[in-house]
Amino acid sequence: MPTINQLVRKGRQSETTKSKSPALQDCPQRRGVCTRVYTTTPKKP
């Protein structure tokens, strides 16, 4: 546990949160919503 003097001198460093999608940080237009993910059987010729 730090003393009051230590906290006054240094202070507490806030934890930096890591982004789960860093690619969307500078390009938010790329974001989309997947409504359904599925596989289809090939149609018979």
Residues 24, 30 contacting (CB under 8 angstroms): yes
For a pLDDT cut of 70, what percent of the chain falls above it? Answer: 98
Residue holding tokens 């010729």?
45
Is the overall model pTM greater than 0.75, yes or no? no
- Average pLDDT (6-35) is 85
Q: Residue range 20-34: average pLDDT?
A: 78
User: Do 18 and 11 meet the contact criterion of CB atoms below 8 Å apart?
Assistant: no
Q: Which residue has the tokens 């202070």?
A: 11
Which two tokens mark 17? 């949160």
Q: What is the mean pLDDT of residues 11-37?
A: 84
